[in-house]
Amino acid sequence: MSDLSDPTLSPGEAVCIIGAGISGLTAAKACCDRGLPYDQFEAGSAVGGLWRYENDNGRAAAYRTLHINSSKHNMELADFPVPDDFPTFGHHSDVLQYIEDYADAFNLRDGITFTTSVERVAPMDDDRWSVTLDTGETRTYGAVLVATGHHWKPRRPDFPGSFQGREMHASDYRRPEDFTGERVLVVGIGNSACDIAVDLCRVAEHVTISTRSSAWILPKYILGIPLDQWTGYWMEYLPWWIRRELFRLLVGLAVGNQERYGVPKPEHDLMQEHPTISEELLAQVGHGRVEVRPNVERRDGRAVQFEDGTAAAFDVLIYATGYEIQFPFVPDEVLSVENNRVAFYRYVVPPAWPGLYFLGLIQPLGSVFPLVERQAKWVAALLNGELALPPPEEMRRTIEDTVNRMKKRYHDSPRHTIQVDFWDYVHRMEREWQAGKRRAQTPRGRRS
């Protein structure tokens, strides 16, 4: 078996990058910067992934009114400043423009084969990877960088009974006009649910949100400063419960008690969930335009019964119940993901499979963009031989620690398997870089 902790690409080997969203593009830029040869495949006809409205990749999930909820300061890539006229919380079209400009600035489009899906990625006996495309062609690579996103496969509960109206997942929601005059139930109280409920409440006859855990509804701004600007580099040095108390004070000042608006207090504490950020939900609940009820107990024709014994009739049920992490092109013997649980070192490296890397498989409080840029640079430096990984046993121990920390910190839900604190992750990756450099300088066997 080769040295799993030495991922250096052998001479003549190339990298395969799957996907041309922000994760795939930062990976391509990092490969270019280090002179690593690569091929990049994208199922759709253009770059941008999730941020391309009506993307023709068969995975479009953005709705017309979607605005990013990470502020522009927080989403900025280290290698590519956000333009001065970019709104603080850009529309999906602004975000797409930024991604397109990034691709053009570094001439990344030329390296992408569009409208080509990767159908299978399988390990070979010599630690290389065979990649099969939907064209039928199979190619061999020294490393595969999976950047295929994790917000495309709907997770959908199967409540008892049946419903005779329209049922759909949030990923198929596009525009409010399609629901004019209808009675809509949105299941869930994450960011999709809140955005959609607020969108619909102006045109629908009535909008209800049903929730099993409720959520802390956070504002986009506190005292005029974007929410994610209140958490800074320095904060990482404080124990998280102190950060939580500071946060509680700030949110208390900005919002007050959400029960007074009509949104129940969650049983879990603040910062024990992926943040639900909505500037408008509480106001619309206060206006009576959005009602909040407990979880669905059963569906019965047009009626839905809730767990508190109440019932109401609806025309449409929208399941804003999140997404499943899946990599359908990776065989089960390499990776089988259940309940969104993945066990990757630094959320990137499966310790048993040298040469396979996953980018963008994190959910931060803050933006994915600069974090995935760091991941991409780290992986390119590993492939380049500048950095090395720890031995697999150490990677497994670190993964176990990470999982245990996450279990203590977040309320138990498949939503919270890849959760990271923005600055905590930045620090860990910086320390990882330094440790990787030291490891690379010690003599060891090379993959050949």
Ligand X SMILES: NC(=O)c1ccc[n+]([C@@H]2O[C@H](COP(=O)([O-])OP(=O)(O)OC[C@H]3O[C@@H](n4cnc5c(N)ncnc54)[C@H](OP(=O)(O)O)[C@@H]3O)[C@@H](O)[C@H]2O)c1
Ligand Y SMILES: Cc1cc2nc3c(=O)[nH]c(=O)nc-3n(C[C@H](O)[C@H](O)[C@H](O)COP(=O)(O)OP(=O)(O)OC[C@H]3O[C@@H](n4cnc5c(N)ncnc54)[C@H](O)[C@@H]3O)c2cc1C
Question: Which residues sit at the interface with ligand Y, rule CB under 6 A?
Answer: 18-24, 41-44, 49-51, 57, 59, 61-62, 66, 68-70, 117-118, 147-149, 151, 192, 329, 360, 367-369
Nearer to ligand X, 104 or 172 (CB): 172
Q: What is the 3-state secondary structure (H, E, C) of the chain?
A: CCCCCCCCCCCCCCEEEECCCHHHHHHHHHHHHCCCCEEEECCCCCCCHHHCCCCCCCCCCCCCCCECCCCHHHHCECCECCCCCCCCCCEHHHHHHHHHHHHHHCCCHHHEECCCCEEEEEECCCCCEEEEECCCCEEEECEEEECCCCCCEECCCCCCEEECCEEEEHHHCCCHHHHCCCEEEEECCCHHHHHHHHHHCCCCCEEEEEECCCCCEECCEECCEEHHHCCCHHHHHCCHHHHHHHHHHHHHHHHCCHHHCCCCCCCCCCCCCCCEECCCHHHHHHCCCEEEEECEEEEEECEEEECCCCEEECCEEEECCCEECCCCCCCCCCCCCECCECCCECCCECCCCCCEEECCCCEEECCCHHHHHHHHHHHHHHHHCCCCCCCHHHHHHHHHHHHHHHHHHCCCCHHHCCEEEHHHHHHHHHHHHHHHHHHHHCCCCCCC
The correct pick among 191, 208, 258, 284 for binding ligand X (CB under 6 A) is 191
Interaction mask 250-289, ligand X, x per CB under 6 A: -----------------------xx---------------
Least distance in angstroms from the C-beta of 63 to ligand Y: 7
Nearer to ligand Y, 88 or 305 (CB): 88
Residue 189 binds which one of ligand Y, ligand X, none, with CB within 5 to 8 A depending on kind? ligand X
Q: Does residue 188 touch ligand X according to CB under 6 A? A: yes
Nearer to ligand X, 193 or 389 (CB): 193
The correct pick among 26, 40, 231, 321 for binding ligand X (CB under 6 A) is 321
Least distance in angstroms from the C-beta of 327 to ligand Y: 8
Least distance in angstroms from the C-beta of 387 to ligand X: 29
Interaction mask 54-83, ligand X, x per CB under 6 A: ------------xxxx--------------
Nearer to ligand X, 240 or 410 (CB): 410
Nearer to ligand Y, 4 or 362 (CB): 362
Interaction mask 210-229, ligand X, x per CB under 6 A: -xxx-x--------------
Burial of 351 (0-12, 13-18, 19+ CB in 10 A): buried
Q: Does residue 157 touch ligand X according to CB under 6 A? A: yes
The correct pick among 90, 165, 190, 219 for binding ligand X (CB under 6 A) is 190
Q: Closest Cα partner for 354 from 323, 383, 333?
A: 383
Nearer to ligand Y, 51 or 353 (CB): 51
Least distance in angstroms from the C-beta of 337 to ligand Y: 14
Least distance in angstroms from the C-beta of 201 to ligand X: 16
Least distance in angstroms from the C-beta of 276 to ligand Y: 12
Residue 147 binds which one of ligand X, ligand Y, none, with CB within 5 to 8 A depending on kind? ligand Y
Least distance in angstroms from the C-beta of 252 to ligand Y: 24
Residue 297 binds which one of ligand Y, ligand X, none, with CB within 5 to 8 A depending on kind? none
Which residues share a beta bridge with 283?
Answer: none
Which residues share a beta bridge with 357?
Answer: 145
Which residues of the chain form contacts with ligand X (CB under 6 A)? 66-69, 151, 157, 170, 187-193, 195, 211-213, 215, 273-274, 295, 320-323, 363, 413, 415
